[in-house]
Amino acid sequence: MERIVTISSITIDLERLRSIKLNNYSELGETNILTIEYNSRLEYLQNPFTNEIEQTIIVDTITKEYPDFETAKAYQFEIQEIWNEYLQNK
Protein backbone atom coordinates (compact mmCIF):
# COMPACT_ATOMS: atom_id res chain seq x y z
CA MET A 1 0.00 0.00 0.00
CA GLU A 2 1.16 3.52 -0.74
CA ARG A 3 2.55 5.59 2.13
CA ILE A 4 1.36 8.92 0.67
CA VAL A 5 -2.34 9.25 -0.20
CA THR A 6 -4.60 12.11 -1.25
CA ILE A 7 -8.14 12.22 0.10
CA SER A 8 -10.47 15.20 -0.30
CA SER A 9 -7.56 17.28 -1.69
CA ILE A 10 -5.50 16.57 1.47
CA THR A 11 -2.21 14.76 0.94
CA ILE A 12 -1.38 12.57 3.93
CA ASP A 13 1.80 10.75 4.91
CA LEU A 14 0.41 7.62 6.61
CA GLU A 15 3.78 6.76 8.15
CA ARG A 16 3.87 9.99 10.19
CA LEU A 17 0.16 10.13 11.06
CA ARG A 18 -0.63 10.42 14.77
CA SER A 19 -4.31 11.35 15.01
CA ILE A 20 -7.41 12.32 13.07
CA LYS A 21 -9.84 14.61 14.87
CA LEU A 22 -13.18 16.10 13.97
CA ASN A 23 -14.32 19.27 15.72
CA ASN A 24 -17.76 20.61 15.02
CA TYR A 25 -17.83 23.43 17.60
CA SER A 26 -15.62 26.44 18.23
CA GLU A 27 -15.85 29.84 19.87
CA LEU A 28 -17.29 31.18 16.63
CA GLY A 29 -20.13 28.68 16.56
CA GLU A 30 -20.66 25.45 14.70
CA THR A 31 -17.82 24.36 12.42
CA ASN A 32 -16.85 21.10 10.73
CA ILE A 33 -13.08 21.05 10.91
CA LEU A 34 -11.09 17.89 10.24
CA THR A 35 -7.62 17.99 11.83
CA ILE A 36 -4.83 15.61 10.87
CA GLU A 37 -1.89 15.61 13.27
CA TYR A 38 1.53 14.12 12.59
CA ASN A 39 4.08 12.75 15.03
CA SER A 40 6.42 15.41 16.35
CA ARG A 41 9.82 15.92 14.77
CA LEU A 42 13.03 17.57 15.87
CA GLU A 43 14.57 20.45 14.02
CA TYR A 44 17.77 22.28 14.82
CA LEU A 45 17.93 26.01 14.26
CA GLN A 46 20.58 28.62 14.84
CA ASN A 47 19.48 31.39 17.18
CA PRO A 48 20.35 34.66 15.40
CA PHE A 49 20.95 36.48 18.70
CA THR A 50 23.26 33.97 20.40
CA ASN A 51 24.48 31.98 17.37
CA GLU A 52 23.75 28.83 19.39
CA ILE A 53 22.16 25.81 17.76
CA GLU A 54 18.84 25.09 19.46
CA GLN A 55 16.58 22.08 19.31
CA THR A 56 12.93 22.71 18.43
CA ILE A 57 10.06 20.21 18.52
CA ILE A 58 7.58 20.69 15.70
CA VAL A 59 4.14 19.10 15.41
CA ASP A 60 2.72 19.44 11.90
CA THR A 61 -1.05 19.62 11.49
CA ILE A 62 -3.41 19.87 8.55
CA THR A 63 -6.90 21.33 8.97
CA LYS A 64 -9.76 21.51 6.53
CA GLU A 65 -13.28 22.84 7.06
CA TYR A 66 -16.23 21.10 5.42
CA PRO A 67 -19.69 22.53 4.67
CA ASP A 68 -21.49 19.99 6.89
CA PHE A 69 -20.79 17.46 9.64
CA GLU A 70 -21.78 14.41 7.58
CA THR A 71 -19.21 15.19 4.88
CA ALA A 72 -16.45 15.79 7.42
CA LYS A 73 -17.34 12.57 9.26
CA ALA A 74 -17.30 10.58 6.01
CA TYR A 75 -13.80 11.81 5.14
CA GLN A 76 -12.59 11.15 8.69
CA PHE A 77 -13.88 7.58 8.43
CA GLU A 78 -12.26 7.10 5.00
CA ILE A 79 -8.88 8.34 6.25
CA GLN A 80 -9.10 6.09 9.32
CA GLU A 81 -9.91 3.05 7.18
CA ILE A 82 -6.96 3.69 4.85
CA TRP A 83 -4.65 4.32 7.82
CA ASN A 84 -5.75 1.06 9.50
CA GLU A 85 -5.18 -0.85 6.26
CA TYR A 86 -1.73 0.73 5.91
CA LEU A 87 -0.79 -0.24 9.48
CA GLN A 88 -1.96 -3.83 8.98
CA ASN A 89 0.07 -4.20 5.75
CA LYS A 90 3.18 -2.56 7.16
pLDDT by residue (tens digit) across 57-69?
999 999 999 988 8
- Say what percent of the chain tops pLDDT 90: 82
Question: Which structural domain range is residue 82 located in?
Answer: 4-89
The predicted model scores a pTM of 0.80
Per the structure, the count of domains in the chain is: 1
* Mean local confidence (pLDDT), 9-24: 92
Q: Which residues contact 50 (CB under 8 A, 6 or more apart)?
A: none
Segment 9-38 shows an average pLDDT of 87
Burial of 31 (0-12, 13-18, 19+ CB in 10 A): middle
CB 66 within 8 A of CB 34: yes
pLDDT(24) > 90: no
pLDDT of residue 76 exceeding 90, the answer is: yes
> Count of alpha carbons within 13 Å of 82, Cβ hemisphere only?
20
Q: Among 3-7, 17-21, 24-28, 86-90, whose mean pLDDT is lowest?
A: 24-28
